[in-house]
Structure 1
């Protein structure tokens, strides 16, 4: 059994980030053409495009947009259509970064930023890309959530608020578009090892790993593997799911 995405086009928002880059490489390795979305890092996006085209022999393009602005996502959709055609797989990965602190000290703008980049990004992406999926009778809409949505730990409030709001949108959307052959799912990473950790030598954190049943942190590749599975035909009967990829650190209850 092979996981094949040949002939599909995948959009990954925040594709120049630590997790986004590995998702892009993994979906390209499976044969998908890749739309590399970025906000500010044009050079890294161009470098990733060249890498994907040369190493995996797929088509790739870069596109800049502020994912909190509906008109910019609509313009992004138009540019993708002109260059690569319809998008079959959407991965909402981008999120605004900010400094975590207590509810009483967190700036209101941070809550708004998380709402805009978690909830409204997903809404705008759905409005722009799902109509073509409905017309075609198939599609994959995947959001990157977080284990923090279930932890609700001190200082996580703005992040959790944005991601839990995002969770509600995805569950409703899954019910609204399922009849058109579109699946809508979320991947919820734990505290994941990325290139940033490898470069800093900070892969191991014994305090965190002690609470994880598998006794280690996950890797960016393990997150990307689940995204690839959800993007493929192998996941054709899974929708509305929130899937923790965190070694069992949080477990949704029934």
Structure 2
């Protein structure tokens, strides 16, 4: 009898905001390792090899519909990566109620809706991996980002509460906190501004999206089975001590 390499069992992975930047890199990394990957976007488009699902995180019915579509296509998500988020940056005294509420509703309440829906099937299966994508801004703070920083800091408290609530059922919940990453947004900054930011970073450079993705895929791997309630910075040392 000839020896054959046994392929790993495909897992169902759901990544929100998976059509560009960090989310796209995360989706592509899971696809590359053989997982069945669905990505949610407002448009429904997806990277090659992934299944695109239109979803609006501020609408509970839309979130539920996205999960149902994913379940029908590839089974209930065993891995959830809550990555989608928005910014409405402005100084506190200029920040409107709408600027505040839109960011909190999308980044924090949207993540609540995602983990609540995903946990239904994870609890029944007695296993699951939840990764919330926060930001170094949620740990350090940043002028002009009171709303964004609050939403990203809130994910830490959410993850640690989920860890205590769901951990006994084999579900891990962790937070990845990226710093400055090479995306379309940072590429559009003036060169002198980019240089100023890099001077604050011990590694003197921005991260690549793939470097953030590699931490996310590790947290979803067997090698991280005993890691939960953790906040892992991917920021080149920018947020040390936080």
Are 1:96 and 2:99 an aligned pair? no
Contact 2:13–2:77 at 8 Å: present in 1 too? yes
Are 1:107 and 2:92 an aligned pair? no
TM-score between both structures, scaled by the size of structure 2: 0.90
* Distance in 1 (alpha carbons) for counterparts of 2:123 and 2:92: 40
* Distance in 1 (alpha carbons) for counterparts of 2:128 and 2:241: 26
Equivalent residue number for residue 42 of structure 2: 39
Q: 1:11 offset after TM fit, Å?
A: 0.4
* Distance in 2 (alpha carbons) for counterparts of 1:5 and 1:108: 48
* Distance in 2 (alpha carbons) for counterparts of 1:185 and 1:97: 22
Contact 1:22–1:221 at 8 Å: present in 2 too? yes
Q: 1:170 offset after TM fit, Å?
A: 1.3
Which of the numbers 28, 31, 48 marks the counterpart of 1:28?
31
* Distance in 2 (alpha carbons) for counterparts of 1:68 and 1:235: 31
Cα 1:214–1:234 change in 2 (3 A) is: same
Moved over 4 A (4+): 195-204
Equivalent residue number for residue 207 of structure 2: 218
Q: 1:203 offset after TM fit, Å?
A: 11
Are 1:156 and 2:145 an aligned pair? yes
Q: 1:173 offset after TM fit, Å?
A: 0.7
* Distance in 2 (alpha carbons) for counterparts of 1:217 and 1:105: 29
* Distance in 2 (alpha carbons) for counterparts of 1:6 and 1:110: 43
Q: 1:121 offset after TM fit, Å?
A: 1.2
Structure 2: where are the runs of 5+ without partners? Answer: 1-6
Contact 1:151–1:250 at 8 Å: present in 2 too? yes
Contact 1:5–1:32 at 8 Å: present in 2 too? no
| Superposition RMSD in Å | 2.1
Equivalent residue number for residue 60 of structure 2: 70
Equivalent residue number for residue 18 of structure 1: 21
TM-score between both structures, scaled by the size of structure 1: 0.86
* Distance in 2 (alpha carbons) for counterparts of 1:153 and 1:123: 24
* Distance in 2 (alpha carbons) for counterparts of 1:201 and 1:193: 14
* Distance in 2 (alpha carbons) for counterparts of 1:204 and 1:63: 36
Structure 1: where are the runs of 5+ without partners? Answer: 53-59
Residue aligned with 1:183, SS:
strand
Q: 1:196 offset after TM fit, Å?
A: 5.8
Corresponding residue pairs, total = 236
